[in-house]
């Protein structure tokens, strides 16, 4: 029996680590997607932001964020309490002392593997912000905000659901983070976009919306496929274990439904763009895939493959209309992050009761509202404080030349952009 428990512990730990590595690879996906959708003169800065935010997220979540989100003993269901650094991992004696029906109530995988899986989630939330404020925000104010979001804002609202806080008690359902991760990132991005304003030349005084196309659509497409692949870890890893027949089948179902939702988002966004815009807009198709993935993340286990495809398809349609709608109200999001992760994320949360009998529409509405309200208020206050301390936006001349030069001192494509406007 001891050998079996050792094997189960090792298998579930290894599975968790591999799924975490898949999600970590999503950092490359976000980086490539954003680098492809910004203009050439802003590429180096977006690359720098994505590398730096991953490092900052890892450090802040280790120092304080993980314990805020998963406290040993919370003060109450709203405030988890403050503690620092990681506890020691499980020892063999404590693991092997648990058996039978209580196995999955105990230490059935390494605590360090749980930290690793969770830290790549917080980095994902911050990556969402990066693309939305691209091309006009200073680098260092963005990184300061990253410290606050990854160390405090994200973990506190995450505790309310995944750490056993009041949203979890209320019955709010969010399997892998349509709300906890994606809506959080999109809401923080919305607050940042509102504070920093639109890019110069995006909106004319006569009301015209001007396209500012990205420099490298092949790179954006590669980024989307990397994200699609990483999402199998994002959703599949959230099943937490794989070492018995039921859980193995559940992980397989999650993988199938995740892929189905992305495919549904692609097809629906492609058709919708053709009908609305008169063309097969690649950027809409890419964001349609991501919208489908975000939508299924709240409940990737309950639906049938066909239902998952339909959920993803609605997510893809929503993204197209949301991107166009936000432009009409002059919310300038160069990569469509707010639409993909915010609007599609809300759709994913609200559709959960159709495939999860334990969820209710009222609890889902409350959960989405609480996450949005807290994250938006905290983010807006943080952005406002940073702006008061030293400003958020580069000068008009620096924006015209490109933030690569002013913020990083080098260009991604010097042979094409040097001396160019």
342 token code pair? 């915010």
> Residue 421: what pLDDT?
45
List 349's β-bridge partners, or say none: none
Residue 392 DSSP class: S
The average pLDDT across 120-127 equals: 97
pLDDT of residue 278: 97
Contact 116, 20 (CB under 8 A): yes
In eight-state DSSP terms, residue 215 is S
Range list of H helices, 197-340: 217-236, 245-277, 282-297, 305-328, 337
Residue 144 has pLDDT above 90, yes or no: yes
- Expressed in angstroms, the distance from the first to the final Cα of the chain is 70
pLDDT digit string, tens, across residues 189-200: 999 999 999 999
Q: What is the pLDDT of residue 106?
A: 67
Whether residue 312 is predicted with pLDDT greater than 90 in this model: the reply is yes
Average confidence score pLDDT of the chain: 95
pLDDT above 80 for 277 = yes
Give dist(CA 307, CA 25) in Å, integer: 28
Alpha-carbon distances of 180 from 43, 56, 320, 349, rounded to whole Å: 29, 19, 23, 10
Q: pLDDT tens, 210-228?
A: 999 999 999 999 999 999 9
pLDDT score recorded for residue 101: 65
Identify the pLDDT of residue 217: 97
Does pLDDT of 419 surpass 60? no
Instruction: Please answer whether residues 402 and 417 qualify as being in contact, where contact means their C-beta atoms are separated by less than 8 angstroms.
Output: yes
- Which pLDDT tens digit goes with each residue over 72-121? 889 999 999 999 989 888 888 878 777 666 666 667 789 999 999 999 99
In angstroms, rounded to a whole number, what is the distance separating the alpha carbons of residues 311 and 291?
A: 10
Confidence class of residue 420 from pLDDT cuts 50, 70 and 90? very low
> What number is the average pLDDT over the span 333-342?
98
Q: Is residue 308 within 8 Å of 361, Cβ to Cβ?
A: no
pLDDT in tens, 340-367: 999 999 999 999 999 999 999 999 999 9
Percent of the chain having pLDDT more than 90? 89
SS3 203: strand
Q: Say whether 237 sits in a helix, a strand or coil.
A: helix
Comparing CA positions, the residue from 196, 197, 185, 143 lying closest to residue 375 is 185
Helix/strand/coil percentages in the chain, nearest 5:
70, 0, 25
* The pLDDT of residue 216: 96
Q: What percent of the chain has pLDDT over 70?
A: 97
Distance CA 34, CA 217 (A): 10
Q: Quote the distance between the C-alpha of residue 108 and its chain's center.
A: 27
Please report, for residues 137, 148, 383, the alpha-carbon distance to residue 390 in angstroms, rounded to integers and kept in the order given: 12, 16, 11
Number of other residues whose CB lies within 10 A of the CB of residue 160: 24
- Domain count of the fold of the chain: 1
Could you tell me the maximum CA-CA distance found in the chain, to the nearest angstrom? 75
Q: What is the Cβ-side half-sphere exposure of residue 275, based on CA atoms within 13 angstroms?
A: 9
CATH assignment of the domain containing 195: 1.10.3430.10
pLDDT tens, 19-68? 999 999 999 999 999 999 999 999 999 999 999 999 999 999 999 999 99
pTM of the predicted protein model: 0.95
- Closest CA relative to residue 33, chosen from 325, 203, 230, 188: 230
Which residue range is the domain that position 175 belongs to?
A: 2-417
Q: Are the C-beta atoms of residues 179 and 367 closer than 8 Å to each other?
A: yes
pLDDT band, very low/low/confident/very high, at 417 (cuts 50, 70, 90): low
DSSP 90: P
DSSP 156-179: HHHHHHTTS-HHHHHT---SS-II
């Amino acid at each position: 029996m001891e050998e079996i428990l050792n094997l189960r512990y090792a298998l579930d730990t290894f599975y968790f680590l591999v799924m975490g590595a898949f999600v970590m690879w999503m950092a490359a996906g976000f980086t490539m997607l954003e680098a492809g959708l910004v203009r050439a003169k802003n590429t180096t800065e977006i690359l720098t932001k994505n590398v730096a935010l991953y490092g900052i997220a890892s450090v802040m979540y280790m120092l304080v964020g993980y314990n805020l989100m998963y406290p040993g003993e919370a003060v109450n269901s709203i405030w988890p309490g403050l503690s620092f650094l990681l506890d020691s991992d499980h020892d063999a004696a404590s693991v092997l002392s648990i058996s039978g029906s209580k196995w999955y109530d105990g230490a059935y995988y390494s605590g360090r593997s749980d930290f690793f899986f969770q830290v790549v989630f917080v980095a994902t939330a911050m990556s969402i912000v990066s693309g939305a404020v691209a091309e006009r925000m200073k680098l260092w104010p963005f990184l300061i905000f990253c410290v606050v979001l990854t160390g405090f804002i994200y973990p506190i609202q995450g505790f309310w659901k995944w750490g056993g806080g009041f949203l979890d008690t209320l019955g709010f359902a969010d399997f892998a983070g349509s709300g906890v991760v994606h809506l959080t990132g999109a809401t923080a991005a919305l607050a940042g976009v509102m504070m920093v304003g639109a890019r110069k030349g995006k909106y004319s005084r006569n009301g015209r919306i001007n396209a500012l196309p990205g420099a490298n659509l092949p790179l954006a497409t590669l980024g989307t496929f990397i994200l699609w692949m990483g999402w199998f870890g994002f959703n599949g890893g959230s099943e937490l274990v794989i070492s018995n027949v039921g859980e193995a089948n559940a992980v397989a179902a999650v993988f199938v439904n995740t892929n189905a939702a992305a495919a549904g988002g692609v097809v629906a966004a492609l058709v919708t763009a053709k009908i609305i815009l008169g063309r097969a807009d690649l950027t809409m198709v890419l964001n349609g895939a991501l919208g489908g993935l975000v939508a299924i993340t709240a409940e990737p286990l309950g639906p049938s493959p066909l239902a998952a495809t339909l959920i993803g398809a609605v997510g893809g349609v929503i993204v197209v209309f949301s991107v166009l709608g936000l432009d009409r109200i002059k919310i300038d999001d160069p990569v469509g992050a707010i639409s993909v992760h915010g609007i599609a994320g809300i759709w994913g949360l609200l559709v959960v009761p159709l495939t999860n009998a334990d969820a209710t529409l009222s609890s889902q509405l409350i959960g989405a509202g609480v996450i949005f309200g807290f994250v938006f208020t905290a983010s807006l206050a943080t952005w406002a404080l940073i702006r008061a301390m030293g400003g958020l936006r580069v000068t008009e001349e620096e924006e015209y030349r490109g933030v690569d030069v002013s913020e990083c001192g080098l260009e991604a494509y010097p042979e094409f952009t040097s001396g160019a406007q």
